[in-house]
Amino acid sequence: MARPALIVHGGAGPVPEAERTHRQAAVERACDIGWSTIGTGALAAAVAAVRHMEDEPLLNAGIGACLNSDGVVELDAGVMEGAALRAGGVACLRDVRHPIDLAVAVMEDGRHVLLAAEGASRFARDHGVEMADPSIFITDRKRQELIEGADTVGAVARDGDGHIAVAVSTGGRVGKLPGRIGDSPIPGAGFYVDDRFGGVCGTGLGEAFIRLGLARLMVIELQHGMEPASVARGAIDHLGKALAAPGGVILVPRDGAPQAAFNTPAMPWAMAE
């Protein structure tokens, strides 16, 4: 039997002082909800945590997410299981109530890894995933036009059978071009997991995570026997030195405690084990 563990983050960036305690509380609520489902498996726990954060209007995922340059919310999400390396990602969603649910549906369908825009929405409707009017995601337009830095929410879980799963969801970057896809729905960039070594997900400047293939690199370092804390710190160091990019990472190794690291003013996170 493995020791269950869960780590959750609510985005790395220059979080306004007035919002820090509220964002931290939102992340802790998500962690509690995910942890309450750990007995049904790592995937269920990670998805439950992220699904809750899609409903927290102070976090940049789902309701309250940042606006693109057209003043529209476009959402990305991704999920992966470490047992068989199954993965699902969705991008540029405007009318799917919980993007993480659709990412799971894509993974479970198994034909593709990443679906985007109208094709992803059509897949959602065909598979009974809850839809929504796009206006539901805009709760405070003035604030959502100013969100900066806190680019993703995510969770990594390890269950009692030693299975590891990761889930991520995001509104992306404020003012992004319509159709922009960041690292969050891309395995190897914004997330990656392999039961033999561990699972990770990131938050920050998505383009940098994509260019570095950072999540996959972190799992390779775990495979090579590096200490999990060193892997997390080293990834953030690499992110800063290679591309002068802001960001944060969370990590659950095959064995041992979860880890977190970031180079931004704040990254609300919580863990349970």
Q: Are 254 and 3 in contact (CB under 8 A)?
A: no
191-194 and 87-93 strand pairing: unpaired
User: What's the burial of 122, exposed, middle or buried (CB within 10 Å: 0-12/13-18/19+)?
Assistant: exposed
Going by C-alpha positions, the residue among 161, 180, 162, 160 that lies closest to residue 170 is: 180
Q: Is 40 a catalytic residue?
A: no
Say which of 21, 37, 40, 152 is annotated catalytic. 152
Q: Are 83 and 161 in contact (CB under 8 A)?
A: no
Q: Which helix (H) or strand (E) holds 144?
A: helix 141-144
3-state helix vs strand vs coil in the chain, percent to 5: 35, 25, 40
Tokens representing 122 are 């059509």
Going by C-alpha positions, the residue among 234, 237, 242 that lies closest to residue 208 is: 242
Q: Are 142 and 136 in contact (CB under 8 A)?
A: no
The catalytic residues are 152
